[in-house]
Structure 1
Amino acid sequence: MNKLILLSIIMLMPLCLAQDISVEKLLAYNKWSSQHQRVYLNEHEKLFRQMVFFENLQKIQEHNNNPNNTYSVHLNQFSDMTKEEFAEKILMKSDFVDHLMKGISQEATHNDTNNNETQLSSNSLTLADSIDWRTKGAVTSVKNQGGCGSCWSFSAAAVMESFNFIQNKALVDFSEQQLVDCVIPANGYNSYGCNGGWPVQCLDYASKVGITTLDKYPYVAVQNNCNVTGTNNGFKPKSWIQIPNTSNDLKSALNFSPVSVLVDASTWGNYYSGIYNGCDQLHISLNHAVLAVGYDQQGNWIIKNSWSTYWGENGYMRLAPNNTCGILSYNLQVTA
């Protein structure tokens, strides 16, 4: 058994014995575990998972009973994970992201003549009061990355899908699995499949090789050998830019198209609905890549995630204005 689980069981045992587990909690656990088809290695792990679930359930109930909170939380596929496991299994390692950011600063902007014109026209836009690219048909369905830290490939595929729609009027699902398998050190990229990676490297790869469709190269949530040859495999982005770190710049970019954004999602696990403002703004660690698809009249960012439609607002989140969860830190937009 995983050493982390074993150690956690030992530490939690006194709490388990002392805790008053109500019939309601047991019923909630049984319903949840049946719904999510949970199968555990043995009774020890099952007991540990139950205790983690009960603790998470308690926090969810306390949060939702506080009328001052602007968002609600709910049971979902992560409800038997500790905060540490959630970070380990679902998010990218923040030190890994920090290392990548230092190493690829030169890749962030890929300029050509078209790109420079796009930047100028984007910056001179009159900003809409609100914008939501879903209403324009420019956003594909919400996906599920599963237990693989491949958010970077979903964010990159999504930003290319939306630009392809805006440019070519065709909404096509692109292959995240191709990016997971092929944007790798052996091909010259510092991205590592389920351990984390970088959306800008996906754009660079796709500009040279092309990105194929999801139905031709389906997602399997593990890294396999790259199954693509040649340099004519579908959509090729020609240019992209890094968005400056201000709310107005991100809004300006969103008036042109959806944007790939990096965030700190450490505390997002149980989000269900409402305006999320639950990040520790003093300790932001970028560890997740998503797609910003717009903003509302109050300035809340509209985020497409890759944790299935069961999470959040049918797979989406509304994030409080300004730099909530570090959303203004490192953002990319395809421009041609």
Structure 2
Amino acid sequence: MEVWRLLLPILLSLLRGGEAWRLPLASEPALEAPARFAMEVYNRGRDLGAAAELLSVRGRSLKMAQGALYSLEVTVQEPPCGPPTACRDAQPSGTLLCHFEVLDQMGAKQTLLKQDCGQPGDQRLLWTSGRQAPTPALQGDSVQLISLFKDFLTTYNKSYANATETQRRLGIFAHNLELARKMQELDRGSAEYGVTKFSDLTEEEFRTLYLNPLLSSLPGRALKPGPAAQGPAPASWDWRDHGAVTDVKNQGACGSCWAFSVTGNVEGQWFLRRGALLALSEQELVDCDTLDQACGGGLPSNAYTAIEKLGGLETEKDYSYEGRKERCSFSPDKAQVYINSSVDLSRDEEGGGGRCKGKDTQPPPPGPHSIFLLSLQFYRRGVSHPFRPLCSPWFIDHAVLLVGYGHRSGIPFWAIKNSWGPDWGEEGYYYLYRGARACGVNAMASSAVVD
């Protein structure tokens, strides 16, 4: 009931016209190039002299790792129709309002993702920057939006300081629903995107709280190559079925994924060599690894060095996770595991990758890899095969643990253990398309070595 008291004035505002949500569109020179490209595509196949004219453009852009996505509101002048063959799609003459979505991949390639034209006055939901909250698509959708938002608050036990903040988060939530919808349209696998526990966060908030920009900005310590694969790998393998993987953990609002991926790998390696599966301490690395930046991010290669220098890892029970940097309180006497070294693994997903698949080698190592934040923020289930510009292999921003591979309905996948808790994804796991170097999953695979 308390939730509805907060949401009721917002719902009434939306039903009255939602003026507070209507943000101005910008008209900038930067929008002219994507608008002219959209018009070029719009006019393709028309007879000479029957091309529509661009009168005005305004819109918004969503910056991405390797380009930008433009949502444009374009006023178009259709010429008078002479012979019937001069007009395409029985488009009436006069002024039209068109909504175009253009993907610009760093100027190298442009793609028209959406074209929707109608009479002026049509209301559409446009893409916006994550810094602002957009209006819901139509007034008639407002009740459904509020219902979805209420379910979200209940499911994830969310609450905000006041009605103003609740209204702001509702705007972000509506914007993110549209982003998830677009991701769903562009995905080439079987993944489902939609409402997750991160659906009320802006892009900047999600990146700051949960991702690790240091992975792409720092080179890290060079690791020696790992041993070559011995023999062919089985058609599928899952280390969870063989007792080498601990339960899914939760890094919280701390950019410590690098520590979780490394401890997960060491847990598996220790199990294979010593027969004991121990949940190891990420907090020890957050507090005591002086090469990395705790919740500000880090590199697995540095973390391996820290474990060697410290003399091992304590268990999670002895050195519990706090989700923030504390004073280092590592005790060598309490260390339960150690590592001897660390290695870099092949970038070949099919051939060299076999060294981390076979029964006689190590479990899949922690593989920090690039997944553009939109892919993970709204992922719910299924095998994800994101549109390449939305999952850039050149922007490494999250470290995870590969635990297996196989096929689902003929789609090859990597099984990935994440560190955002079991209430994200498929009980804490992400399934990524295998064999196309998707999201740079092969770019920084590494492993500890336990003799």
Same fold (TM over 0.5): yes
Please state how far the C-alpha of 1:299 moved relative to its aligned partner: 3.7
Q: How does 1:126-137 map to 2 (within 5 A)?
A: 126-137=232-243
Please state how far the C-alpha of 1:36 moved relative to its aligned partner: 2.0
More divergent stretch after superposition (279-288 vs 255-264): 279-288
| Greater share of residues in strand | 2
Q: Secondary structure at the match of 2:368?
A: strand
Q: Secondary structure at the match of 1:262?
A: coil
2:78 aligns with none
Please state how far the C-alpha of 1:68 moved relative to its aligned partner: 6.5
CA deviation string 1:38-58 (max 9, x = no partner): 232333222111111122234
2:318 aligns with 216
2:301 aligns with 200
Larger radius of gyration: 2
Q: How does 1:71-220 map to 2 (within 5 A)?
A: 71-93=191-213, 96-101=214-219, 103-105=220-222, 108-109=223-224, 119-120=227-228, 123-184=229-290, 189=291, 191-208=292-309, 209-220=311-322
Q: Does 1:37 align with 2:37?
A: no
RMSD: 2.7
1:56 aligns with 176
Please state how far the C-alpha of 1:239 moved relative to its aligned partner: 2.3
Runs of 5+ in structure 2 lacking a partner? 1-128
1:47 aligns with 167
Q: Does 1:289 align with 2:385?
A: no
CA deviation string 1:285-329 (max 9, x = no partner): 001100001110454111110111111111111111131110111
Counterpart Cα distance in 2 of 1:290 and 1:10: 27
Return the letter of the residue paired with 1:293: V
2:379 aligns with 271
Counterpart Cα distance in 2 of 1:325 and 1:282: 5
Counterpart Cα distance in 2 of 1:83 and 1:63: 14
Counterpart Cα distance in 2 of 1:330 and 1:168: 26
Out of 322, 327, 330, the residue aligned to residue 441 of structure 2 is 327
- Give the TM-score normalised by the residue count of structure 1: 0.84
Return the letter of the residue paired with 1:324: A
Instruction: Point out which structure has higher relative CO (alpha carbons under 8 A, 6+ apart).
Output: 1
Please state how far the C-alpha of 1:64 moved relative to its aligned partner: 5.3
Q: Secondary structure at the match of 1:295?
A: strand
Counterpart Cα distance in 1 of 2:336 and 2:287: 16
Number of equivalenced pairs: 310
Q: Quick check: 2:393–2:438 contact (8 Å CA) kept in 1? A: no
Q: Quick check: 2:215–2:398 contact (8 Å CA) kept in 1? A: no
Q: Secondary structure at the match of 2:204?
A: helix
Q: Which runs of 4+ in 1 moved over 4 A?
A: 8-11, 16-21, 61-69
Q: Secondary structure at the match of 1:164?
A: helix
Out of 337, 344, 352, the residue aligned to residue 235 of structure 1 is 337
- Give the TM-score normalised by the residue count of structure 2: 0.63
Counterpart Cα distance in 2 of 1:242 and 1:126: 20
Counterpart Cα distance in 1 of 2:188 and 2:263: 37
Counterpart Cα distance in 1 of 2:340 and 2:240: 24
Return the letter of the residue paired with 1:317: Y
Q: Quick check: 2:133–2:175 contact (8 Å CA) kept in 1? A: no
Counterpart Cα distance in 2 of 1:36 and 1:252: 40
Runs of 5+ in structure 1 lacking a partner? 1-7
CA deviation string 1:183-216 (max 9, x = no partner): 12xxxx1x00111011122222222321000011
